[in-house]
Amino acid sequence: MSNCPTPSKVSLNFHLRKANAPDHLRHLVVDIARAAKYIVRELWHGKLGKAGTSNQFDEDQVEMDVLSNQILEQHLCENELVSCFASEEEGEIVELNPDGPYAVVFDPLDGSSLVDKNFAIGTIVGIYEGKEIIGKKPREQVAALYILYGPRTTLTYSLGNGKGVHEFVLNDVGEFVLDREFLGIGDEAKTYSPGNISAASENKPYRDLIMKWIDEKKTLRYSGCMVPDVHHILSKGNGIFCNIGGAKYPNGKLRLAFECGPFAFLVEEAGGVSSDGKQSILDIPLEAVDQRTQFIVGSKNEVERTVRGLGVSK
């Protein structure tokens, strides 16, 4: 960083440099952040209706799903740094530059069914070194980040390896500037966020856990989109989020590659814990892009109690 003084407003680029991110990785993260600014603009001014198409999971796509996927793809193409990517909106892994040093996984617009209701939604990204996605474990990510489109647009990233989790806010000149550094998660949860709650009708251990949280007078914080829901845990510094299996989704509803993997990386880096009911999410090998997993994440003691309570109900 030579003789440059630390600016009063620390940009994402400056922060990545200070964290000694390799130049290619820094450029890639900054380009993803740039894509997010175009997604924000479309959320403000674009069409929010249904696209009339469906994604690899046979879920109806909204126009913003398709558009945010295109925006991200375009930015990943532009920098020549990406060997391939897997997106929740694409059926298969998409090959880009064979010499690109990174492979990227992303959900371009998580919670997009809420977009026309004006709820908070987000983009989730995980970055791996090399040309492979299948066979990798989320622990091997070299960076993970999410962008939260809420009352304010924020970007939270981590490079792992004890380098911390950091939050930036998009300012009025279109720069992500540092808001908070080294977000941490305490061991006890005051809030709970129970996903796929309809599973509790046939999954008694899950129902019992929810009743326990109610009896303990924990505070419910569930919006229906994982990005703000897990962000709440990182932001408040405690809480538990889960998405548990039931009849409709035996392994839970969420996808390992684009949703659980990046968030597990961020939460564990912040001092929290993640689990599928048996092991850390970070140790589950990616066998397919459409792989789902149960997801229990947040404050250590509550995640451990939850895993015990579910009795490995996977």
Distance CA 305, CA 311 (A): 10
| The one segment of 45-53, 149-157, 194-202, 205-213 that binds ligand FDP by CB under 6 A | 194-202
Cβ atoms of 228 and 276 closer than 8 Å: no
The amino acid at residue 282 is L
**Considering beta carbons, is residue 102 or 295 the nearer one to ligand FDP?**
295
Return the number of the residue (159 or 189) whose C-beta is nearest ligand FDP: 189
**DSSP H helical ranges for the chain:** 12-18, 23-45, 63-78, 204-215, 226-236, 261-269, 300-310
Residue type, 283: D
Of residues 111 and 126, the one with the C-beta less far from ligand FDP:
111
Among 31, 110, 276, 302, binds ligand FDP (CB under 6 A): 110
Q: The tokens 């690109």 sit on which residue?
A: 100
Give the range of 137-145, 163-171, 212-220, 225-233 binding ligand FDP by CB under 6 A: 225-233
Binding residues for ligand FDP, rule CB under 6 A, total 15
Instruction: Choose between 21 and 199: whose C-beta lies nearer to ligand FDP.
Output: 199
Query: Of 18-26, 66-74, 156-164, 251-259, which part binds ligand FDP (CB under 6 A)?
Result: 251-259
254 binds ligand FDP (CB under 6 A): yes
Q: Which of 101, 126, 195, 272 binds ligand FDP (CB under 6 A)?
A: 195
The answer to whether residue 113 forms part of the interface with ligand FDP (CB under 6 A) is yes
The tokens of 4 are what? Answer: 């440059």
Where are the extended beta strands (E) located within the chain?
Answer: 50-54, 60-62, 82-87, 94-95, 102-110, 121-129, 143-149, 153-158, 165-170, 176-180, 191-195, 219-220, 240-243, 273-275, 295-298
CB of 258 to ligand FDP, least distance (A): 9
Q: Residue 96 or residue 200: which is nearer to ligand FDP going by CB?
A: 200
In the block, residue with structure tokens 């792992």: 160
Residue 292, strand partner residues: 255
Query: Nearest approach, Cβ of 121 to ligand FDP (angstroms)?
Result: 8
Q: What are φ and ψ of residue 92, in 5° steps?
A: -135, 170
Binding of residue 225 to ligand FDP (CB under 6 A): yes
Instruction: Give the binding site for ligand FDP (CB under 6 A).
Output: 110-114, 195-197, 224-226, 229, 253-254, 259
